[in-house]
A and B are shown apart, each in its own frame.
Chain A
């Protein structure tokens, strides 16, 4: 066989295998029950309330505890390290296959508006490349990936260390006919349960404090998330959970950013509920980091949130109709 023939066959086989692998990964990832984007598109969750945002709601709000207080079904749609574009796509997937919930609590803080906190996790959407909504977000949030993802298998190769394990797990779930995720209500108890010393490192890095930077893309996707929810008739609440009081001294423009967030809430005629000044905010013993409560702190906060939601449900059911 001459070299040209060999090269041609080699290229053809590589492209074929890559195309085959791409299909296999598509299939496997869509069958992985632990991937929220896949799960919410295959299961009927139909929650009355959803909680959305990055790791703070993910680790702090347990629907199981809340449901017993509010007597309605809730689901935690939050994902760790996610930004609003990430949240937007997950809400889009959820609404594609589920009944629109009555309420959505979206976690928004000055940190959420700063691109140095959290990120858009492209790999979570690799199996859904081709969906026009997904593609348009990818183009804006990860243009390099969007450019190369049409090459066979590149949509997975680009973040291979993030998707290989999930693909194998997806195959396992398919073989075992597993459809229920490891965390069925979306809530993940935090891995880290002790104080993580990030604040000390933060102070070392910024002894004079850190000024949050308002990111336009974050603002755009916060607005898009609210708009998407409102288009489906969902009552949106922006909320902020307790923030460790001592950390506020190192955030000189926090109040200024909070005002801007309130401005967005006003624009959409929704509430920005702030639990940041709860009593527990004064003590480190309820926190594992500046924004993340530990198990005990989460329990107290969830209880307060539950009461607030019950109040809102009661208001919606009995008071609002008479206004």
Chain B
């Protein structure tokens, strides 16, 4: 059941209405049942995994206080689960560094839905309990709910225990929340179906069949992937937040206009916020604190560790390692030149230049993130720096991006560019309406009609982050 499938929307409607009508004390039981049904519908292995891991972590958390051995065992168990399930099983490959774990194939098989997301939550939970910052949960039902809550199980947001657990038995549903949730859900559907999925064929064409593309075509492919990834993942997050809101829960924001960032550090404060918060809290800060006497070197070590682990979390392939290296270089450069750059005046033109540089830097790193193998990533980088401008624009630039030379392909490509461009231009305004707690007649009508007119219903892509 994919989030933007019609069957899932029917499931959401039934769940929201039933949950609304139920007395509060039954809601968490009902939603736990729905969540397990959702996971079980995806595949039975995912259902078994979420139940087994929840029970293990619950048991460990009950006995963890003052037991360092159990704490380390718990952390290792979850880390091992991420490695095992995300890499060995999901790719069904041997331990081969030349292979990238990411396939972006609609048929790619994910044996345990969302395991790497709830494993992170479990590590956070065990740490908080071990260090006496959080009381261990006494209800196994609530702990299972924390891990399996269906709007967030597939790709987060990664919720810290203090952010989610207090809500479990105290969810409040108001008309304002219903309206706000509905607005966010619509926004997510729009982003996914109208923009991300429409860009997917162009990205697919450049990344998977683009061995001989010119530099500009390759660059355009890298830009488009960055935009696709943003709309795909933020669309998912909007849907997750929207559905959770309609069910009476607040999930953490994951994105805050990241494509408008004028520095890489700002970008990482705005992109996949929940994951970065996790890494900051459990990797970066503890490490920097331990090495604090080394000053700048401590921060550099923190960046290095955070991004190497983040790269490995996404996949153990060499391409993710290179993607992480790109960001380590960018952030280290920013850190080392911070004083020099602080002298620059606060002018719009500098801000604009910053946005342009960041977008290019992120898009460049995403070549490694998206490429199926090291050789194809290196080929794309090579293409980027040789024979930059195409001689025949229609044949060498538009046709590969439009996935064919037919009028219909070009038409679709231009429509997709227009929709993505218009959205990015008015994103702040659109977000403001989508976050409002009032039902908006114009917004709803426009969103629904645009989804029907330009959305991809038939063969929508899976959400990219579902495979991590």
- Residue numbers of A with Cβ under 8 A of B are 3, 6-7, 9-10, 13-14, 17-18, 21, 122, 145, 148, 153-154, 157-162, 164-166, 168, 191
| Chain B, 395-434, CB within 8 A of any chain A CB | 405-408, 411-412, 415
Q: Is the CB of A160 within 8 A of B456?
A: yes
Q: Is the CB of B441 within 8 A of A10?
A: yes
A191 and B406 alpha carbons, distance in the complex (Å) = 9
From A10, A21, A157, A166, contact of B408 by CB (8 A): A166
**In the complex, what residue of chain A is closest to B454 when comparing beta carbons?**
A160
Q: Is the CB of B445 within 8 A of A13?
A: yes
Q: Is the CB of B441 within 8 A of A9?
A: yes
- The answer to whether A164 and B411 touch (CB under 8 A), given A3-B179, A18-B452, A157-B457, is yes
From B405, B439, B456, contact of A7 by CB (8 A): B439
Q: A160-B453, A164-B415 are in contact. List 17 more A-B contacts (CB 8 A).
A: A6-B439, A10-B439, A10-B444, A21-B453, A122-B458, A148-B457, A157-B453, A157-B457, A158-B457, A159-B457, A160-B452, A160-B454, A160-B457, A162-B408, A164-B453, A165-B411, A168-B411
- Residue numbers of B with Cβ under 8 A of A are 6, 175, 179, 198, 405-408, 411-412, 415, 438-439, 441, 444-445, 448-449, 451-458
A162 and B408 alpha carbons, distance in the complex (Å) = 8
A21 and B408 alpha carbons, distance in the complex (Å) = 20
Q: What secondary structure prevails in chain B residues at the interface with A? A: helix
A7 and B444 alpha carbons, distance in the complex (Å) = 9
**In the complex, what residue of chain B is closest to A9 when comparing beta carbons?**
B441
Q: Which residues of B contact A7 (CB under 8 A)?
A: 439
From A13, A122, A148, A162, contact of B6 by CB (8 A): A148
Q: Is the CB of A159 within 8 A of B458?
A: yes
Q: Which residues of B contact A13 (CB under 8 A)?
A: 445
Q: Which residues of A contact B448 (CB under 8 A)?
A: 14
Q: What secondary structure prevails in chain A residues at the interface with B? A: helix
A14 and B444 alpha carbons, distance in the complex (Å) = 9
A18 and B412 alpha carbons, distance in the complex (Å) = 21
A6 and B179 alpha carbons, distance in the complex (Å) = 12
**In the complex, what residue of chain B is closest to A14 when comparing beta carbons?**
B448
Q: Which residues of B contact A160 (CB under 8 A)?
A: 452-457
**In the complex, what residue of chain A is closest to B407 when comparing beta carbons?**
A165
Q: Which residues of A contact B452 (CB under 8 A)?
A: 18, 21, 153-154, 157, 160
Q: Which residues of B contact A18 (CB under 8 A)?
A: 449, 452
A3 and B408 alpha carbons, distance in the complex (Å) = 41
Q: Which residues of A contact B406 (CB under 8 A)?
A: 191
**In the complex, what residue of chain A is closest to B456 when comparing beta carbons?**
A161
22 A–B contacts from the bound complex (CB under 8 Å): A3-B179, A3-B438, A3-B439, A7-B439, A14-B444, A17-B445, A18-B452, A21-B452, A148-B6, A157-B451, A157-B455, A157-B457, A159-B458, A160-B456, A161-B198, A161-B412, A164-B411, A165-B408, A165-B412, A166-B408, A191-B405, A191-B406
Q: How far is the CB of B93 from chain A (nearest CB, A)?
A: 17
Q: Which residues of A contact B449 (CB under 8 A)?
A: 14, 17-18
Q: Which residues of A contact B451 (CB under 8 A)?
A: 157
